[in-house]
Amino acid sequence: LDIKMYIKDEIDALAQLITELQKAILKLGKANINVIIPGYTHLQVAQCVLLAHHLLSYIEGLERDKGRLSDAKERADSMPLGACAFSGTGLPIDRNFVAKELGFKNVTANSIDSVSDRDFIIEVLAGLSILSVHLSRMAEDLILWSTKEFSFIDIDFSFCTGSSIMPHKKNPDILELIRGSVGKIQGDLSSVLILMKGLPSSYNRDLQLDKPALFDAIDTVENMLEVFIPLFENIIIEKEAIAAKLNDESLFSVDIVEYLIKK
């Protein structure tokens, strides 16, 4: 019961943070709506693309993440209270009344399933794992864009560190830590899946070990989102450096081919 109530609250908080991140990304795109950057596939120069178009791709993935978490919340919104240890109770309780008081839409239908189901935890962890992959890929883009080789963006120093020895370094450590922390979340999902796969029906004490993984994953993702929002709000776009990279004629090969086809 408590875990389901916790999950519902945390999903609402996560959805709000994701929305705030989407707004920060959208604001950056709007402020640089005419900036054209070299696009890449296979990490090789491909075609010209609007910076805003690239940034909007992040918003699409994050919107799917919100949808997945919302779906998980729907399936967590059934109250198990009244199942007791295993087989319910013969006492004249009113589960529907209690569910309404506690803000649940439904009550669970089977007492054995009620005490042994952890699908709702696995589903939340799966949603967080996919969300974390999106955040990791965004971090990787920003790390690349901040290098001298790309010079697309300048990340505020409050999200970077200097070197232990080299005075010219500005390392995007926060983004690297976000990228590295994603492995923990994938591990949290795996640990609960492995925990569940060998259990017989009904309650087993192993199930108390689902909580550290859930708490860790939610806290880690919330921390990532809380860092990403101000990071995007303080990114500077290096317009002159980007413009210089557009002199590469190979960027326009497709445009020439399409011109010839139309002729």
One of 42, 158, 168, 201 is an active-site residue; which one?
A: 42
42 is catalytic: yes
CA dist 75 and 104 (Å) reads: 11
Alpha-carbon 28 to chain mean position: 19
- Alpha-carbon Rg for the chain, nearest whole angstrom, is 24
Among this protein's residues, is 163 annotated catalytic?
yes
Burial grade of 42 (CB within 10 A; 0-12, 13-18, 19 or more):
exposed
Of residues 163, 190, 250, 253, which has the active-site annotation? Answer: 163
Is the separation of the CB atoms in 106 and 81 below 8 Å? no
Q: Could you tell me which residues come within 8 angstroms of residue 209 by beta carbon, excluding any fewer than 6 positions away? A: 191, 195
According to DSSP, residue 250 is labeled G
Residues annotated catalytic, as ranges: 42, 163
